[in-house]
Structure formats: structure tokens, C-alpha cells
């Protein structure tokens, strides 16, 4: 592997974020044992998706190109349902995989499709926007938008690996590069002041280093989130930390945990008006002294 930076992300299922140029050849190595892989992408990334598919094909993993609507239009439950229909028609099994090629919208969708198919198959993310690289594709938060709001439906499903191929940024529209840089600067203020110096000097010249530094910040924050999720899980379900419990999977607010005796409620629902019914929090922060509704 030439000039590739590998950044580990911990948690129940640790994985690596690889940063470099022309990284698509690394894709098959992240999917050992897969017989087929669905490559989700939107039209602007068709060429990158084609290359990813060719790489998989070359090592005997049958690629299935799945084009989805671009940007937020793709983060839709109907689009996810179409993807599941395609996986079903192709006979996708537990060892097969989903690859997300695109900006944060596509990687959110691809992760969600993978999280739900057979209750979880491998996802590999190939983010092609800066925001996707430093934020959306790292950490395992996946989801779609609904009429009730953005990102309200989703699952926590860490990827099997993330490939940040800097060469894909060559075609990223300037406005989207700036959006990603805003996230990078945020990482600078929160955790790594050297980022601010590099941005001030020349963000284009230092783009790779900035990406790596911001991914490291995100990876550290993932470790903390995963650790606290593990603690919450073991204290609410009595399971060993690190043992997945399907009852507590989900995005913020989560769900109650079904036991033989009925519904128990996680501690962050404490005092929530909805908690005594065992239903998810109502979303009305004002009436909720717990943290679930905020
Ligand atoms: N899961 C998370 O933790 C997390 C974190 C932050 C953001 N997000 C989500 O990410 C999404 C925003 O991501 P985004 O800023 O990447 O926007 P986006 O995915 O909508 O992409 C913006 C546009 O850039 C295009 N594009 C992407 N890469 C390109 C490339 N290399 N060349 C040419 N065009 C390219 C896309 O096709 C799209 O038209 C939102 O849906 C947000 O909710 C998720």
C-alpha cells in the first residue's frame, strides 16, 4: 500500500479509515468472503462507482450498481425500500455487502440499507465529499429523512471500513468543499488547534492533512460515544459491555428494551412523560426532565 494513512476507529466492531489517493483497489480487502456487493451511488459519482464495481469484479465479488436520487432526495425510506427489493431479487445473504459511494447523503442511506438488510450486513463507505470523509461516513450513524424531520429514522451501524480517496475530491463543487471545511474548522476549535493554522495558511494545499486530522478527531469522539453506549447498554439491559443488544440499537432517544416482564426504559428517559408507557420519547424537550427529548 503506497502512501496510505490508516486511522483506527474503536468500539464493538473496530475498523480503519484509510486516507490516500486512488484507494479503490483497497475495497475488496475490506469485504473478505463477500460473493456480491451493492454499490449505491448517485449520478454525479457514476464514474467512481463504475471503478469500484470493476475492482470488485476483478476479484470475483459480483458488483450490483444501484443508482439512487442525488443528495437529500436519496435519503428516503422509499429509496431504501427499492434498494432492499434489489438486494432481495439478487439473493443477498449475510456475507454480502453494501458499498456507499458519494457524499454524506449516500453514505447515510447506504449504511441504513446495510443496517436493516437481514438485520445488518457489512457496509463499506467510500465518501466523496469532504463532509462525508470527516464526519458522515465515520462513526456508524446512518439514516433517512421522513415527513417528521431530517435524520429521525436510522440505526447505529459502524462500517467495515472507510476509504477516503482524496482524488475523488477533484470534482467536488466548491460550495460542498466549503461545507466540509466548516466541519474541519469545527474539529480545530474542539480538539486540534493545528487545524486552524493549516486552514489559515492554505486549506487546499493542506487538504489531505486536514482530512486526516479531522478524521482523528472524529475517531476519538466515536471511541467516547461507543464507550458510553456500551455503559448505557450494560446498565439498562444487564448485558455484558460489548454484547450487542438489539433492543437498545437506534439513534438518539433509542427504544425501550423488551423483557419477558414488559418494557424497561433507558436512564436517559428518566422523568419523560412518554417513558411510563414504554414508548419512545415524545420529542417535547420542555416537558422532559430527562435528556432523551432534547
Ligand atoms: N451520519 C452522520 O454522522 C452525518 C454527519 C454529518 C452529515 N451527515 C449527512 O450528510 C449529508 C450531507 O453530506 P454532504 O455535504 O456530502 O452532501 P451530499 O451528500 O448531499 O452531497 C452534496 C452534493 O455533492 C455531490 N458530490 C459529492 N461528492 C462529489 C464529488 N466528489 N464530485 C462531484 N460531486 C460530488 C453530491 O452528488 C451532491 O450533489 C446530510 O444528509 C447529513 O445529514 C451525516
CA atoms within 13 A on the CB side of 77: 11
Give the C-alpha separation, 108 to 34, whole Å. 21
40-68: pLDDT as tens digits: 999 999 999 999 999 999 999 999 999 99
Do residues 149 and 140 touch, judged by C-beta distance below 8 A?
no
DSSP assignment, residue 239?
P
Nearest protein CA to atom 29 of ligand 1, as residue? 172
Task: Report strand pairing: 97-102 vs 62-67.
Answer: unpaired
CATH class of segment(s) 5-169: alpha beta
165 lines ligand 1 (CB under 6 A): no
Q: What is the pLDDT of residue 2?
A: 66
Domains in the chain: boundaries? 5-169, 174-293
Given ligand 1 and candidates 176, 182, 183, 251, which is best to mutate, with the most ligand atoms within 8 Å of its CB?
176
Given ligand 1 and candidates 50, 79, 136, which is best to mutate, with the most ligand atoms within 8 Å of its CB?
136
Tell me which residue of 127, 87, 121 sits closest to 107, measured CA to CA. Answer: 127
* Mean pLDDT across 176-196: 98
Give the C-alpha separation, 256 to 279, whole Å. 7
pTM score above 0.95: no
H-helix or E-strand spanning residue 62: strand 62-67
Do residues 195 and 187 touch, judged by C-beta distance below 8 A?
yes
Distance 172 CA to ligand 1 centre (A): 10
129-140: pLDDT as tens digits: 999 999 999 999
Amino acid at each position: 500500500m503506497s502512501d496510505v494513512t490508516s486511522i483506527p476507529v474503536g468500539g464493538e466492531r473496530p475498523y480503519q479509515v484509510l486516507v490516500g489517493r486512488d484507494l479503490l483497489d483497497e475495497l475488496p480487502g475490506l469485504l473478505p468472503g463477500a460473493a456480491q456487493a451493492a454499490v449505491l451511488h448517485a449520478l454525479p459519482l457514476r464514474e467512481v462507482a463504475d471503478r469500484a464495481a470493476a475492482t470488485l469484479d476483478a476479484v470475483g465479488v459480483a458488483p450490483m450498481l444501484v443508482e439512487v436520487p442525488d443528495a437529500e432526495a436519496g435519503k428516503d425510506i422509499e429509496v431504501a425500500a427499492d434498494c432492499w427489493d434489489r438486494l432481495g431479487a439478487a439473493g443477498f445473504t449475510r456475507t454480502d455487502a453494501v458499498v456507499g459511494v458519494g457524499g454524506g447523503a449516500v453514505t447515510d442511506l447506504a449504511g441504513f440499507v446495510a443496517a436493516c438488510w437481514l438485520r445488518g450486513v457489512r457496509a463499506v463507505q467510500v465518501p466523496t465529499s469532504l463532509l462525508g470523509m470527516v464526519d458522515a461516513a465515520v462513526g456508524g450513524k446512518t439514516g433517512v429523512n421522513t415527513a417528521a424531520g431530517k435524520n429521525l429514522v436510522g440505526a447505529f451501524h459502524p462500517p467495515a471500513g472507510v476509504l477516503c480517496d482524496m482524488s475523488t475530491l477533484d470534482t467536488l463543487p466548491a460550495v460542498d468543499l466549503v461545507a466540509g471545511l466548516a466541519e474541519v474548522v469545527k474539529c480545530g476549535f474542539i480538539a486540534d488547534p493545528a487545524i486552524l493554522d493549516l486552514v489559515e495558511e492554505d486549506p487546499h494545499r493542506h487538504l489531505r492533512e486536514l482530512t486526516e486530522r479531522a478524521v482523528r478527531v472524529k475517531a476519538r469522539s466515536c471511541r467516547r460515544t461507543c464507550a458510553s453506549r456500551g455503559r448505557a447498554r450494560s446498565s439498562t439491559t444487564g448485558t455484558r459491555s460489548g454484547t450487542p443488544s438489539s433492543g437498545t440499537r437506534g439513534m438518539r432517544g433509542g427504544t425501550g428494551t423488551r423483557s419477558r416482564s414488559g418494557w424497561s426504559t433507558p436512564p436517559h428517559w428518566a422523568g419523560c412523560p412518554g417513558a411510563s408507557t414504554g414508548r419512545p420519547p415524545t420529542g417535547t424537550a420542555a416537558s422532559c426532565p430527562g435528556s432523551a427529548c432534547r
